Structure 1
Amino acid sequence: MAEFAPGQTALVIHVPEAESVVGAWRRRFDSSAAHGVPAHVTVLYPFLDADRVDAGVVAALGELFAARAAFDARFPACGRFPDVIYLTPDPDAPFRELTEAVAARWPEAPPYGGQFEVILPHLTVADGVPPDIQDMIEAELSGRLPVVTRVRAVALETFDGALWKETASFPLGCPEV
């Protein structure tokens, strides 16, 4: 289970359409859900500490995301990391491109603190669970997928010491005509 520090921020894409499918599992097995984060795909975590997110950063984020078009995504299947089961987005390239754009603009905030070389967009269903629990979750989810969503915005979430709260939302630019 992840430990969060007050003042941490994250950029995430909320996927409300997934709540009815994965919400019960997330409440049991996802530490971010226990701290108020809805079903989501992380764009960048950790982002800048809250005391560094000033009006200039907010404006730059707004411009960066406005320059990218809204897009449709499906979550047709489960994937796994050690001790983690997640939904895989299709396509995953638009999510990865958002992460790469933010990381390029703020190189001092690499995705996941630079722990992983490859950016693998995902919607976490459960973390810290053994393979038998992952098998059970995947079997239950298999008949309920795909989840389909329209990605229209990126949220800035800030941890206040107890809960993650949305502190800003940045619309993606106009969809393709």
Structure 2
Amino acid sequence: MGIYQIKAQENTYDIIDLDVVVLAEKLAENPTLDEDTLIELLMNLPFDNTSLKSMWPDEMVCNYFGKSKEQNYDINVYANFLVLNMKAYNTLHGELKEFGEFLPLNVEGDKMMMFNLLTFAQENKTLCEMSYLDGFENGLKTLCFDEADTVTKTIFKSKLQGGMTNYCTDKLKHLVEKNDLSGVKFDTDLLDYF
């Protein structure tokens, strides 16, 4: 079974203009948490696996970033989230829903869904190797997942990577390709940033 890093297409814009501070300000309108607490929560979100559903508005209103509307991609990588247009959402919802949550967006009048991945996969730590610089840990040299764990998952994150990168199995890759969904590529190099 193949494991892939989900990446944005090269030379693409972020889809939405919604940084951590602005997102925290918008979420603070719902008085569950204050803005400073929300910023801290959002900064740690990928690793802490915090659900945003209970504090999310009926839909988060935001703008397109740069020329991203012209790209017109079905799936967009946005930080540690995936932003799906409604075609991609309708196609992938059934497969992804058990691994995270969908958060409604209104992007300049266009309905979209932001997918917050809430699932980690177990790494095969005997095959993972740390990188060192001057005797200090400096990230991973190799990353390998436990196949017995990933066989039941379509999409997941790595705790060793701090939850910052989305990974998937052949199941998601084939579903995206079969339905001609645009915007992402699937890289077998699990640690390559580019």
TM superposition score normalised by structure 2:
0.23
Q: Which has the larger radius of gyration?
A: 2
Query: Which has more helix, going by share of residues?
Result: 1
TM superposition score normalised by structure 1:
0.24
